[in-house]
Structure 1
Amino acid sequence: MKAIIQNEFGNENVLIYTDIERPKLESEEILIKFAYTSVNYADIKKRKGNKGKGKFPFVPGLDAAGIVEEVFPGSKFSIGERVIAFPTSGSYAEYGAAHESLVYRIPDSLSFEQAAAMPTVSILSSMLLHEIGQVKEADTIVIHSAAGGVGSMLVQLAKLFGIHQIIGTVGSLEKEDYVKSLGADIVCTYNQFSEEVLAKTNQQGATVIFDSVAGNITRKSLDCLRLYGTLVQFGNSSGEAGSFTTSDVHSSCRNIKGFSLGTTRKHQPERLAPVAARVIDLFASNKVKLPIAKQFDLSNASHAHKLMESRNYTGKILLKCSYE
């Protein structure tokens, strides 16, 4: 089968399009023929080696949509079913293996493009909003990187839930109209968001702030987080760690919570199934949608990574894995 592999860490040129063997199935795994896979920022970090030592070669990619090709005896899935999945063998490929607990059926009404765009960002966003952030309708929330994949989803889900005030941050106000079209009430740049949040909340600050950027954004977020508020950290796309002191939280009764979908997939995969069912229903009923910034053929994965790193896009970037 055709796939993208990495034999080393580096820039986008380390993504090699080549022929490899189909993955051999382990216990309770099923084989899926991928239609599309999405490009996530975690793919960029892994390509560069930010996760530390790597075991080469490997196939990048976190999630995909496709058709069940092979099952094990007693599986709850059947050959030919349409699914989304978090494959164990990587998703930048024509085929991939996934443990049954991380595979979810999708209805015929949901396109493979939308299905491929949703697994990581929609399941993560729903868990961040309701389980980790525990938002309430009366809250004022801040969503950093609001024009990205997770940000786009968080804004829509927050709007659907009826959040009182949604503030999104962006690198450039050229993305303001896009983020407001998703449901944000206010859009501001990283340079000014802290002052803007305080101004819009009568100097009280935001109730919940969702931060995937870290670095100095963590400090600025704490500057506009209200008493008893919650800062949710779920990434560091800036490439820098955010920092805080114990005095930032104890006297103000504020919380800092961390969350990783990758860690949860590995250690508590059962938590994902009910969330996946809810977001699949939202997509199938057109209550939410992820704009597709651009589609690339699998062979052009390096161009997809280059676009993502440019940040000159909105929504999700997809790779087309099969060509029938």
Structure 2
Amino acid sequence: MRAVQIRELGGPEVVIVRELPEPEPGPGQVLIDVARCGVNFADTLMRENGYLAAATLPLVPGLEVVGCTAEGLRLAALIDNGGYAEKAVISGDHAFAVPDGVDDTEAVALLAQGLTAWWLVNHTACVRPGDSVVVHAAAGGVGSLAVQLAKMRGAGRVIATASTPAKRALAMELGADVAVDTAEEDLTTALCAANGGAQVDVVLEMTGGRVTDQSLAALAPFGRLAFYGMASRVEPAMISPRALQGRSASVSGFWLMHAFDRPDVLGKAYSELAAQVAAGELRVVHGGDHPMSEVQRVHAELRGRRTTGKLVIDPSR
């Protein structure tokens, strides 16, 4: 089968399409023909061994797939790796039936990114009716869904941040009340100004460095900052006991891999998200359907933050 394999650590050039043997399913697993595999920022970190989970080479990247079993059952699934391939082995505990009215890109987008957005809004940050919610990288895969889910949860004001006018306009289309340029020198003041001069209740953050620090400074007493990534790879400076106590603030982290131990919750969440997409209540931003032969370019575009929404790869091309 055709698959992408990484044999050495490095940049996009190490992500190479090769001919590999088909994977063999083990107990509780099933083989599927992959229709689309999702591309995530985490994939670009894996090829450098910069992800939370250490990379073991050789590696076929890809954490999410949608496709059909030999019996014709259409499933979307979270996997440890192996998604960038024509065939993949999935576990029944982390596979979800895809309803009619949900296309392949949408089915994949609701996996790592959709479930992360759902968990952040409903559990980690526990968004409450009336809360003001800052969503950083609001045009990205997680952010674009989190903007909408926060609104559905009853957020009083959703403040989106993004790096370009086009991305900020997209966030507004998705339901954000106001959009802020992430490059604002005094991001703390900009976020509070976007909230009518008041400090904010919730921040969903995945950038790191000064963005985290200035977002924490914008939190109201009893505010919550939910940290689910660090795209800048720069550690924030202000997360200290004194800084948190001085604001009665909470800072939490979330990694979807830990939710794998709660397949019942993930199954409920996926079904809920898929039903909202099928009903037209939740919009997945299609970020590009690319042939697997262009995987190096896709990685370069994603790492360069020149993409929006959900990127997928078609293994058949």
Pick aligned residue for 2:136 from 118, 128, 144: 144
Q: What SS does structure 1 have at the residue aligned with 2:69? A: strand
Cα deviation digits, residues 263-306 of structure 1 (max 9, x gap)? 322x4444311111111111121211212122211121111111
Aligned counterpart, 2:7: 7
Distance in 2 (CA, whole Å) between partners of 1:137 and 1:275 is: 20
Distance in 1 (CA, whole Å) between partners of 2:15 and 2:178 is: 38
Question: Residues 239-258 of structure 1: matches in 2 within 5 Å?
Answer: 239-243=233-237, 244-258=239-253
Given that 1:23 and 1:96 are in contact with CA atoms closer than 8 Å, whether structure 2 keeps it comes out as yes
1:150 CA drift (Å): 0.5
Given that 2:159 and 2:195 are in contact with CA atoms closer than 8 Å, whether structure 1 keeps it comes out as no
Given that 1:82 and 1:108 are in contact with CA atoms closer than 8 Å, whether structure 2 keeps it comes out as no
Aligned counterpart, 1:68: 69
Aligned counterpart, 2:40: 40
Pick aligned residue for 1:290 from 277, 280, 284: 284
Distance in 1 (CA, whole Å) between partners of 2:141 and 2:6 is: 24
Structure 2: 5+ residue runs without aligned partners? none
Q: What SS does structure 2 have at the residue aligned with 1:249? A: helix
Distance in 2 (CA, whole Å) between partners of 1:236 and 1:187 is: 21
Q: What SS does structure 2 have at the residue aligned with 1:92? A: coil
Distance in 2 (CA, whole Å) between partners of 1:89 and 1:208 is: 32
Structure 1: 5+ residue runs without aligned partners? 70-78
Q: Does 1:208 align with 2:202?
A: yes
Distance in 2 (CA, whole Å) between partners of 1:80 and 1:43 is: 29
Given that 1:89 and 1:96 are in contact with CA atoms closer than 8 Å, whether structure 2 keeps it comes out as no
CA gap of 1:245–1:280, structure 2 versus 1, over 3 A, is: same
Q: What SS does structure 1 have at the residue aligned with 2:47? A: helix
Question: Residues 92-171 of structure 1: matches in 2 within 5 Å?
Answer: 92-171=84-163
Q: What SS does structure 2 have at the residue aligned with 1:253? A: coil
Q: Which runs of 4+ in 1 moved over 6 A?
A: none
Distance in 1 (CA, whole Å) between partners of 2:54 and 2:191 is: 40
Aligned residues: 313
Cα deviation digits, residues 240-277 of structure 1 (max 9, x gap)? 22231101112322111111002322x44443111111
Comparing 9-18 and 286-295, the one that deviates more: 286-295
Distance in 2 (CA, whole Å) between partners of 1:67 and 1:17 is: 22
Distance in 1 (CA, whole Å) between partners of 2:277 and 2:192 is: 34
Distance in 2 (CA, whole Å) between partners of 1:108 and 1:136 is: 31
Distance in 2 (CA, whole Å) between partners of 1:112 and 1:289 is: 14
CA gap of 1:53–1:114, structure 2 versus 1, over 3 A, is: closer
C-alpha RMSD over aligned residues? 1.6
1:58 CA drift (Å): 1.1
1:196 CA drift (Å): 2.1
Pick aligned residue for 2:73 from 55, 70, 81: 81
Distance in 2 (CA, whole Å) between partners of 1:201 and 1:295 is: 36
Distance in 2 (CA, whole Å) between partners of 1:20 and 1:89 is: 15
Aligned counterpart, 1:232: 226
TM-score by structure 1 length? Answer: 0.92
Cα deviation digits, residues 157-209 of structure 1 (max 9, x gap)? 12233311000111223322111001111111123332122224454311010
Distance in 2 (CA, whole Å) between partners of 1:44 and 1:285 is: 33
1:113 CA drift (Å): 2.4
Aligned counterpart, 2:50: 50
Aligned counterpart, 1:25: 25
1:136 CA drift (Å): 1.1
Distance in 2 (CA, whole Å) between partners of 1:190 and 1:3 is: 37
Distance in 2 (CA, whole Å) between partners of 1:204 and 1:115 is: 38
Distance in 2 (CA, whole Å) between partners of 1:249 and 1:59 is: 40
Comparing 209-218 and 110-119, the one that deviates more: 110-119
Q: Does 1:178 align with 2:175?
A: no
Given that 2:224 and 2:249 are in contact with CA atoms closer than 8 Å, whether structure 1 keeps it comes out as yes
Distance in 1 (CA, whole Å) between partners of 2:311 and 2:304 is: 12
